[in-house]
Structure 1
Amino acid sequence: MHAADPSVLGVKNEEARWTPDAEQTPAVRQLDVVLKPLSRPELGDIHIDAPVFAVGRSEQPFASYGSDILSMLSRRHARIFHEGGVLYLADLGSKNGTTLNRVAVGQVPCQLRNGDEICFGGALSYRVQITQALKPRAEPGLTLTLTPESGDSGLAPIVITKFPFLVGKAHPTFSRYENKPGHGRERSYLSRRHAYIFQKDGQAYIEDLASGNGTFIDGLRLEEHAVLLRDGAVVAFSGKHFAYRVGIIWESGDELAPSVTHAPMAEGVPTATVASPPIAGCMPAEAPPSDRTKFMAAPTKFLEIFCVGDEPKDDIEPADSAPPGAGTKEPAVKRRPRGRAMLLLSELASLLASDEPESVRRRWWKAAAVAGILGALVLTAYLWSASERDLKDAFARGEYARAAALASRLLDKNPDDVDLKARATEAALKANVPAWIAKVRARDFDAAKGVLTGMSELATRDADLRHLIDELQWLSDLERLVSARGGLKTPIRIYADEDGIEQLIGRWNDDTGEHQRVLVRIASYVPQFGDWYGEALTHLRKLQSESTVYLPVIERVKASITTELARDDPEALGPVLSETAEKYPGLGGLDSVRQDLARYIEIRREARTPKSGRLFALLRRARFATRPFEQSQRALATSGQLPSADLLQQYDAATQAWRDGRASEAFAGLQKMMTAGSWGEAAGAELERRRGVTARFAALQESRNTSGFVDQLLAFRESLDADEDVYFLRATAADLNLQKDKVIARAQDAVNRARTSWQEYRSNGPIDASQRIETSISDQFRTRARLLADASRYAQQAFLIYSQVDAAGAGQWTAIRDEIESEARRQRSALRDLSNVVEPGLLKTKLSLLGDSNE
């Protein structure tokens, strides 16, 4: 940050600068200034060509911005101005501050250089672009005369030919009246920096500098922005005493107001007549007031005007002051309404100042009464402002949770106070966002939501805060999705992630600029949020990149699943899923979909042509992760193509008895189901299967001491249903453990057989497309299919045996089993893809040779 030279801000050299013979300042370079937006690119560039550029919520172009921006700007926020060919930035005591290169601008104007970054209110940041003007701009000559409105006021006219001109009690134009009778008291009501007049586009403008007693134009008090000074207008400073009629003369000589043609040269020295307006830049000595006396006003530097500094407090407005032109019935000046306390003080003051005779004792009683009333007023004012003091104190101590609660209560009383809403928003964010970030980083999203819920209670009276909370919730949802996926390196999962991704990206794309503005605003309050949300946006960009590739693929696959299930042709989905997996290996969740597809196909086949009586068992275990399969199964049950919920409940009761070893009760339940219409056949088949299990278990017990017991034991256990026949698995576990060595030997033998068949299959070469499409079964196809089927059967058998007695042993053969099964699935899938080419009976036989259990 480049602070201005303090030497140019003081008034020590005032007389030297205003000496008539002082050397004229050389012409300075003119600048083209452009503010390039950083935080809000859509708002466009701001070109500054005036000597003073005002920043504030009622100034253009800022007044046209959204309420979220205006709430961060003060009415008189900052000014950018030219001085001696240099550009400066001054903050005018704004609530949310101004920064230059991320350093706060204090009470001293800072020099701006090309490439600097400035920010207003933490919401609007710009890059400063400064170039030398190609065509110098020349302001037309202008002489402004301020003639006292009252002819007997004793004030001298003021002639201004060089701008800007500062109005203030310390300025030589007004300080000369300090000890003059009738003027000194009135001068005390001026502020040190009361107002200033400047030239823009060939016109004169005046702006009040937040003076204590105001500046008035034709009886109306100026607000927070500059207004045009028109010829003939009456301008008054702090009441009716310093009131002047405006006269303007342009360089062309067209006089639009009366002008004064005499100027004093020194106090007590006769005035000299001048033929034309004198040259500005000199400050003559005092002369006796007269109708022909005038002051040649020297220009003031903008640096002095906008350097706030620590100044003494200005006196309060006189009770009887009023601007000129005020009527007897209605004051001409529209002043801010005076509070009850000030009215009472005025009455007390007039009472004490009364000239009516009274006794000394009575006057003492009156003074004591006044002192008591004043004390009560002070105490009342103190109590009334306690909440506001507590709020400021909470901010100063960094107790933002308490500050948020106090601000919320104050909003109950002042719901339309924009500044208070801004402070309430700031306190709520500073109190809660750090805790929210910690919860999100810890992946405790429920706790993070709780933090936002607590903030929502503070937002009931602050719609702006509600908007910020919604943005934080969006970020929380983004991180929750990334966490649920297991990080950004894991694939997007079909039927799990696509809806959340589409919703998050869609909301961002709806108004990207608004999202960025809100995030920057939150970061302006909570600095650590800036680093964190940068990471979150990196996650968003990764999701956007992935979504352009995978979301269309997911939509096509989902559409195919919906279509084929509606056609009742789920077998057609196998090739679709296989092709998708090959083309898009980064797409996750396809294995789960294929498992659901296989389960669904098995249920449909069993429901159409019951063979094993396993339909009820399949339905009992059916748990679909893919919504369309679950919905389709429910629709089939509703239409009567699958057993009803009542039958499934009866089957569950019978199965539970079977699992507990209560065979007679289980048989009775299934026999009852055999009378249930078309599904009685399936119940009867399951009853026969369970009776067969009971019979084989009895035969196994009788063969305990025979040489073939181990083979019979393994065969019996292989025939059991791991989910429903648990009673018999437990009943034979002790025998299996006793025969562990022999069982492991059987498993090793099965592994060797599987490996031999697999090596022979690979040596002869896998089944190729020509063999699959042939119109008959060749010896070559038959041999290779038998080798692959044997390898698959022995591998599964070995793995099953190992898993029962030696899990570690089973693990070492997992790789070869998976390799064999992968080839078997590939060959079966390739054959099914030829369903429209190969005759159905031939296709069924070929699949059977490959060991397809469904054929």
Structure 2
Amino acid sequence: MLLQAVSRPELGDILIEESLFAIGRNEHPFATYDKEIVAELSRRHARVFWEGRELYVADLGSKNGTSVNGVAVGEKPAALRDGDEVCFGGVLSYRVRLVARAKKVQRVGTLLSLTLTPERDDLLLEPVVIASFPFLISKIDDVIARYKSAYPHQVNYISRRHAHIFLKGGAPFIEDLGSTNGTFVGGTRLDEHAVELHDGDIVAFGGSHFVYRVSLQHEAEVEAEPTLTGFTPPVAAAEDDPGNPDRTMFIAAPDSFLDIFCISPSPQPDEVNDEAAQAGSPVPRVRRERSRTVLFVRELGRAFAGGERGTVKRMLRWGLPVVALLVAVALGFYRAGSAERELAHLVAAGDFARAAAVADAYLASDPDDAALQALGTEALLKAKLPEWVGSLQVHAFGRAAALVADMKAQAAHNADAQPLLAEVEWVGELERFVVERGGVDAPIRIYADEERIGTLLQRWHADSRARQRALARVAAHVPQFRDVHAEVLTHLRRLESDESVYLAAIERLNAAIAVELDAGRADTLSALLDDYAGKYPRLAGLDAVREDLRQFVELDRALQARRLEPLIALLGKLHFSTPPFRQHLEKLGETRLPSAEVVRQYAAADQAWRDGRGEEALAGLQQISAGPWAEVAAAELARKKTVLQQFGALQQARGGKGYDERLLAFHAALDESEDVYFIRATEADVDAYRDQALARANGLLTRAATSWRQYRSAGGIGGEQRLESGISGRFRSQARLLAEAQSAARQGARIHEMLKTDMGEQAAAVQAEIDAEAELQRQSLQELHRVLEPGLLKAKLALIGGQSDEERKSP
């Protein structure tokens, strides 16, 4: 950001390269200007800062105010845009210019984290790891607020907006935010300036209670681009302290400059700490707190000392019972802290399993004790998590899950531990998924992996900041978890990449399949699948989609043929394994497929027909008298009646003159898939007339070849004949020749097949040409269904006949 001087151009422009820039008469560069120029600026006047990708200015309650484009900045920060005019104190105006700069590269020595280690062990304060900046010190934040029940006054010495730690030039700085009781570095109270923090500095907030030693952890490996993986905390100074090796560590979450500089009135004033109220006084010498009993007696002595003798006598006469009561209460408080001391002793001794059990037992009766919760969490993780890490590393995921369940049971009353255990459980699930599918670089299995990836990432994205904080806290307690933590973050980034590329591609593919199937364009999907296979090489499982597409095309053809027997037989074999085709099959079931009742009725009739119970079969078909398939059933009923009548007449003519011809004609006209009973019933007689049957078959094939030659020599059926608004003589004669050729060829071929004889390559080639032409003419006519009147189209299709026996179809 560049501030171009408007009101005083001679002062020059100000280039701001940091995320936070201080405006004040004692801040650089304003401190270098003449005093009369900056006289209207306050010492802590305003702050300019970046939040995400947005630029803001916040007024810090200055005397003469801050404005943007003439509008005063109130309690909340105001956004700055390129070209805005910002004015400080009503006298110094600047034009805002946003300029690009080169991307920064993370280099050796970059600050990774800052740890605040309590100077006093007896207060049971937790170390604080700050891995992301800025960070606000506030009595309402969990870092301080967790001690409110144990130290209410000391917590109230901290302001709601007390101080904040931020980065400037890659180094940590601390700034007091006008707190009531001050912020101290090295015993010196901060004024309006931010100061840099160094390794070993002592900082205190509001007095001598919240006093910490600063330790800085820097990058010590190789130069690398910054990543978004967050932070895996190093061993904190508290853990290196031999006097307290197992102290709990609190992982602090980053705050927002918007919250830090949003000046809102406090609901109640801060409590004044007398020891920090003296101007310029250093932080009082840190000393160990005496026991509660000693403090109580000391305060009691102060109350009785220095008074009038008569007053003392009266106090002794009337105050002794009260004193005794107060002593009892003090002893009660002392005993109340025994649970915390016992747990601390067990943790310090390394008896983590027992400490975890004792903590849960105490928490069963006092579930809101924050100190007990923290100690119980620490003990439980140190007792069980190393074994969990070992199980995860050898891929014993069942054992790891059982350990998490056991930890949850042992922490049934610990509200602090349960969220951490939930994150550990999530880590186990993610690692199990990654390992079982062959690693993060394994193919993405369509309709198998995307739901699991989505579920895992959804849980993380629901509150990634809280989850990162929880995982970092677990790693702080159990060093063995750090490698797992780092690996999980790596796997998480890869899954996020797969989500943005492959899961998005699968979603688009599903949508495209649904659109094409609904539009009746299934034939376009094969090319689409080939395209996806080329673009997304790690997308596995497309073969299953192709198989479902093949089955669907077969189903679609059966529906177009409008024949119940092959359709129902196909429905019994269909098995769609992919969701888009299963969903479309459900749609077809509601609109185009025969109902379950129709399928049942037809199956019963078909079985009766195959068993030779003709009359029963006819009665069953007559039951299908309503619905979209009633006409198809009626046509099937008529055909079966004809076959049954012909079979009866054939039996009566058996042995008579012309029986052989009638027999072969009947046998050749049978449907080999439906009329199996009648084929078997006449098979013996057909074998007896084998020679005559072969002669008839060859005669039929000769007749088919003759009709085919006549059809071709006349030029076939062209597009103008198909488009005719009526049926011309030419169309009728050509259609008759084609239908006769196909019928004769098929009958001759069927006789050869029945007799298990070879019809010859030439005859087979002629039949293939006839079938291809008949199929072409049928498809060409069907493509004209929007042009030709339905009755005319049906009549033309009936004249052509063909493989599907169009003369037996309903429209």
Normalised by the length of structure 1, the TM-score is 0.41
Normalised by the length of structure 2, the TM-score is 0.43
